[in-house]
């Protein structure tokens, strides 16, 4: 008897796909890897990675550990570990990302502001509010 093992998904395997020709309006929250080849309007929060494919069109703010853009994004990006904009990528919005994990290929389009931060301050390291 041959037993099949359940497939193991690495942290880089795709858990959720919004396929080309699909449209979603609203909030997306996920823990794994999200690939967008269709259209999204709203907001995206992901503990893992978000990939906007070449046919993907996003009008949303994206907050994720890793963000890769090969399609078009209109919205702000907050990438905790990695931001990659491929040569086919078009990004219209502000970016917060770590300098060590940021890569942008020749030919990409970017309109917005970019803030490079090495790491977010821990809660106990944030300055105390001033009192008058």
pLDDT digits over 53-101, tens only?
Answer: 999 999 999 999 999 999 999 999 999 999 999 999 999 999 999 988 8
Give the C-alpha separation, 77 to 60, whole Å.
9
Res 9: pLDDT: 37
Is residue 90, in this structure, part of any structural domain at all? yes
In which domain, by residue range, is 83 found? 16-125
Is residue 69, in this structure, part of any structural domain at all? yes
Is residue 131, in this structure, part of any structural domain at all? no
Mean pLDDT of the region 41-62: 97
Is residue 132, in this structure, part of any structural domain at all? no
Is residue 75, in this structure, part of any structural domain at all? yes
Distance of CA 85 to the CA centre of its chain: 10
Is residue 130, in this structure, part of any structural domain at all? no
Pairs from 90-93 (Cβ < 8 Å, separation ≥ 24): 93/61
Count of domains observed in the chain: 1
Is residue 37, in this structure, part of any structural domain at all? yes
Query: Whole-prediction pTM value?
Result: 0.78
């Amino acid at each position: 008897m041959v037993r099949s093992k359940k497939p193991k998904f690495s942290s880089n395997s795709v858990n959720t796909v919004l396929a080309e020709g699909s449209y979603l309006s609203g909030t997306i929250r996920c823990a794994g890897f999200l690939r967008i080849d269709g259209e999204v309007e709203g907001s995206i929060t992901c503990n893992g990675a978000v990939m906007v494919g070449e046919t993907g069109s996003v009008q949303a703010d994206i907050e994720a550990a890793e963000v890769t853009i090969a399609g078009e994004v209109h919205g702000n990006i907050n990438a905790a570990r990695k931001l990659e904009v491929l040569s086919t990528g078009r990004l219209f919005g502000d970016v917060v990302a770590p300098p060590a994990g940021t890569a942008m290929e020749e030919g990409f389009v970017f309109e917005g502001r970019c803030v490079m931060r090495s790491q977010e301050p821990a809660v106990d390291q944030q300055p105390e509010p001033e009192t008058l």
